Copies of this chain bind each other. A is one copy, B any other.
Amino acid sequence: MTGNGGAPQSEGKDPRLEACGRCPARDLGLCPSLQQEPGLPLETGFARARRKLCHQGEAASHVFILCDGWAFRFVTLADGRRQILDFLLPGQLTSTAAPFSDYHEASVQTLTPVRYARIERQKLLSTLRERDHMLLRLTELCVADIQRLQDCIADLGRRTAMERVARLLLGLYERLEMRGAVEDHAFEFPLRQEHMADALGLTPIHVGRMLRQLRTARIIRLQARQLQLLDLAALREAADGGLESA
């Protein structure tokens, strides 16, 4: 099952992941097709936290789907500056555009222990050419991706640090709620300030200041890798410029 060669090393079993039997490609809607498709074998594997699944610039022989755990996709500039492009939640393709790129345009790194599935890219492509409903679905995912990236550009270009932080938290909250991973407005939150900083174009220190502001205003509670949104309305307010320089 994990005896794959060349690709990211599988890291043995993790009890937190072992039990999971959920659909590996929930977001795709490809899920049933993939599993029925005879020429499309799914290999599964595990990786521990802080491991790289894909390396920017390398040839991309496989496409990865996250089954369990969090990861993020990012690029690094020549001098080491890092920009996180997206946080990846269970059920997501590692990159929507990946099936069509011969090389990894970005790197992917795990935040938590992760169970993943991978598919040979060429086989996926030929299947896509035959099965137009699958292609259409994938295209729709690309469109959603474009939409999200554009929002992100507006955030980075024109929003303040506080707005960016608030919007990041809200965005993750909404995505996790759709997956049923939220209870009492609280959820697992494996991000470090460093990750938020690299996603938001800020410094970890400044992210920390914004978080403290939100915490002392009783808008969020963040401890022990758990985030709780205490005052959703106020957070939405902050996300739209309502909490500047206070």
Contacts and interface: CB of A to CB of B under 8 A. Distances in A.
Given A129-B136, A138-B139, A139-B142, A157 B240 contact: no
B147 A146 contact: no
A23 interface: no
A246 interface: no
A241 interface: yes
Which among A82, A97, A199 has the highest number of chain B CB atoms within 10 Å? A97
A159 B244 CA distance: 24
A75 B146 contact: no
- What copy number does this chain have within its complex? 2
Interface size grouping (class) on chain A: 35 or more
A106 B150 contact: yes
A143 B101 contact: yes
Interface in A158-186: 158-159
Nearest to A141: B142
A83 B149 contact: no
Contact of A97 (B101, B106, B143, B201): B143
Contacts of A85: 150, 153-154
A238 interface: no
Given A149-B149, A149-B153, A158 B82 contact: yes
Contacts of A140: 100
Contacts of A129: 132, 136
Given A77-B154, A85-B153, A105-B150, 9 more contacts: A75-B150, A81-B158, A97-B146, A100-B140, A105-B147, A135-B136, A142-B143, A145-B146, A146-B149
19 contacts: A75-B150, A81-B158, A81-B159, A85-B153, A85-B154, A100-B139, A100-B140, A101-B147, A129-B136, A132-B135, A135-B135, A138-B139, A139-B139, A142-B146, A146-B149, A149-B153, A156-B201, A157-B198, A158-B201
